[in-house]
Amino acid sequence: MTTKKIAMDIMVPVSDYSAVHTTDTLAQAIKVLKDSFTMVNRVINGHRSVLVLDDSEHLVGIVTIRSILKSLEIKSQIGSSLARIFVRDIIENNAMTINVMEVMRPVKENYVKATDNITVAAKAILTGRINIVPVVHENQVVGIIRSIDLFNVIGELLD
C-alpha cells in the first residue's frame, strides 16, 4: 500500500510552531523552546527547534537544540570542560550575548512546496541531513515537516 499524501497534509502550520525573531538572543530562543515542553510520564514532548523570523514575519532560519548546545559549549571557553556549559552563570552570560542569527541554519534552498508529495520532503530531510524542512506555498512559508511527521506516516501504513 502506498500513500499519496502531500506536504500540506502532514505539516505543522507555521503559526503553531515556536518562533523567535532575528533580533532575539539565544536566551530568548531557549525560553521559547522550553515553554513548548510538556512532561508526561517522564517523557518530554515539545518542539526540538525554533523558527527564526525577520521583521516581516518571514522565516529566515532555524535554531535546533543541538545548535544551541554546540554554541554554548564553544562560547564557554574553548578547550575547557564540556561540563562548564552546565554552570548557571556561564549559561546566562553566554546565552544573553549570542544572537540567534549567529546560531541559526539559514533557510534558503532546503524547502518543499505545499503540493509536493511527501517523498520530496523525505528526500530533503535525508539529503540535507536535517530534522525539519519548511513547507512553502506561493513564496510564503506555511508549515514545517519534521522527521517525526514522516515517521508517523510510515507507522500509519503499517496499521
CA distance 97 to 100: 10
The three cell numbers of residue 106 are 539559514
User: Residue 12: what pLDDT?
Assistant: 94
**Top-level CATH class of 7-158?**
alpha beta
Report the pLDDT value the prediction gives residue 139, as an integer from 0 to 100: 82
Report whether pLDDT(1) > 50: no
50-109 pLDDT tens trace: 999 999 888 899 999 888 888 876 655 544 555 555 555 666 667 778 899 999 988 877
pLDDT exceeding 90 applies to what percent of the chain? 46
Average pLDDT, the chain: 84
Dihedral class, residue 29 (left if φ above 0, else alpha if ψ from -120 to 50, else beta): alpha
Short-list 65, 85, 63, 64, CA closest to 74? 85
C-beta separation of 61 from 52 below 8 A? yes
Question: What is the pTM assigned to this prediction?
Answer: 0.79
Q: Where are the domains of the chain?
A: 7-158
Instruction: Tally Cβ neighbours within 10 Å of residue 5.
Output: 16
pLDDT (0 to 100) of residue 58: 86
